[in-house]
């Protein structure tokens, strides 16, 4: 009976995923804002342009390194160590890629900002599937998820080069996991996980997106730091929460 319920819930997730893809790609192409690279804070300090937007990426580097080292020490069988290792590699590369982009904002450098971001989104989704639904399903989906994520960036970049920019695949990769992960937790619950891990992580990320969209108004208010710089710090805080993933899930494994 329980197995049939789980299969039913998995079918709901599959149908939702397919329906979301059909809906998104039935919409007209979504172009990137022509002012996307115009950040409010472009101060030049110590020979570095857009100084605070670059500097605020440093936490990603430390969190990525710490995360990789922590995952290596996990001894629990059927724990998604591969997915989580790639997640923290993606966090580290996000710090590098975002710093590079903000040092010299352009579509060419933005590609290297977005690529590692998709790696983090998709590898985390793979890990959550392994932990809540079925270990091997998440493991087998890891490579296709990463390919889809990277492909969404390459597709956007290619369409930009031919003057027909289309962000739809990248938008799907960036936002659909934010919807799917809480739904997985609701349909395949494990006690304490949502409160201790997923809700804080999503909370920090939602605040980060709010700060990003209010970049200019926050800079005008503070006269010191922009919304985009703060966005980096809150997004890094979201990845910092994932450092506790073994502690949160350990009670659900027989050791």
CATH of the domain at 150: 1.20.1070.10
pLDDT on residue 226: 93
Structural domain count of the chain: 1
pLDDT on residue 89: 98
H-run or E-run covering 195: none
Give pLDDT tens digits for 152-163. 999 999 999 999
* C-alpha closest to that of 123 among 239, 235, 208: 239
- Pull the structure tokens for residue 55: 């500097």
> Percent of the chain at pLDDT above 90?
75
- Pull the structure tokens for residue 187: 């349909």
Cα angle, residue 158 at apex, residues 156 and 163 outer, rounded to 5°:
90
Q: Is residue 19 part of a domain?
A: no
CB 226 within 8 A of CB 238: no
pLDDT on residue 203: 94
pLDDT on residue 222: 87
Q: Is residue 24 part of a domain?
A: no
CB 116 within 8 A of CB 163: no
pLDDT on residue 221: 87
pLDDT on residue 127: 97
pLDDT on residue 167: 96
Buried b (16+ CB within 10 A) or exposed e, 101-131: bbeebeeebbbbbbbbbbbbbbbbbbbbbbb
Model confidence at 255, pLDDT cuts 50, 70, 90, reads low
Model confidence at 42, pLDDT cuts 50, 70, 90, reads confident
Q: Is residue 172 part of a domain?
A: yes
CB 120 within 8 A of CB 176: no
pLDDT on residue 150: 97
Q: Is residue 72 part of a domain?
A: yes
CA distance 230 to 107: 22
pLDDT on residue 195: 85
Give pLDDT tens digits for 87-129. 999 999 999 999 999 999 999 999 999 999 999 999 999 999 9
In this structure, how many other beta carbons lie within 10 angstroms of the beta carbon of residue 31? 14
Give pLDDT tens digits for 58-94. 999 999 999 999 999 999 999 999 999 999 999 999 9
In this structure, how many other beta carbons lie within 10 angstroms of the beta carbon of residue 250? 12
Q: Is residue 122 part of a domain?
A: yes
Q: Is residue 61 part of a domain?
A: yes
**Which range of residues forms the domain containing residue 121?**
2-13+48-252
Give pLDDT tens digits for 13-37. 889 999 999 998 899 999 998 889 9
Distance of CA 114 to the CA centre of its chain: 10
Distances (CA, A) of 148 to 73, 115, 182, 215, 244: 29, 11, 21, 29, 27
Question: To the nearest whole number, what is the mean pLDDT of the chain?
Answer: 93
CA distance 130 to 124: 10
DSSP label at 74? -
pLDDT on residue 168: 96
Q: Is residue 216 part of a domain?
A: yes
Give pLDDT tens digits for 187-213. 999 988 888 898 999 999 999 999 999
Q: Is residue 136 part of a domain?
A: yes
State the distance between the two ends of the chain, measured CA to CA, in whole angstroms: 26
Match 């809480």 to its residue by tokens.
Answer: 182
pLDDT on residue 152: 97
């Amino acid at each position: 009976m329980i197995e049939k319920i789980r299969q039913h819930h998995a079918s709901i997730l599959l149908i939702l995923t397919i329906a979301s893809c059909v809906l998104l790609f039935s919409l007209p192409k979504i172009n990137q804002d022509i002012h996307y690279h115009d950040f409010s804070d472009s101060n030049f300090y110590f020979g570095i342009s857009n100084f605070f937007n670059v500097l605020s990426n440093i936490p990603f580097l430390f969190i990525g390194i710490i995360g990789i080292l922590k995952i290596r020490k996990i001894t629990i069988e059927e724990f998604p160590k591969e997915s989580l290792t790639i997640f923290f590699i993606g966090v580290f590369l996000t710090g590098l890629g975002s710093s590079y982009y903000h040092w010299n904002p352009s579509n060419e450098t933005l590609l290297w900002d977005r690529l590692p971001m998709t790696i983090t989104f998709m590898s985390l989704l793979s890990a959550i599937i392994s932990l809540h639904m079925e270990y091997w399903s998440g493991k087998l989906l890891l490579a296709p998820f990463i390919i889809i994520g990277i492909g969404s960036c390459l597709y956007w970049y290619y369409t930009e080069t031919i003057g027909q920019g289309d962000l739809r695949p990248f938008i799907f990769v960036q936002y659909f996991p934010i919807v799917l992960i809480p739904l997985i937790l609701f349909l395949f619950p494990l006690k304490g996980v949502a409160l201790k891990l997923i809700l804080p992580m999503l909370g920090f990320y939602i605040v980060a997106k709010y700060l990003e969209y209010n970049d200019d108004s926050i800079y005008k208010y503070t006269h010191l730091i922009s919304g985009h710089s703060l966005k980096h710090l809150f997004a890094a805080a979201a990845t910092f929460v994932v450092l506790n993933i073994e502690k949160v899930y350990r009670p659900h494994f027989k050791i």
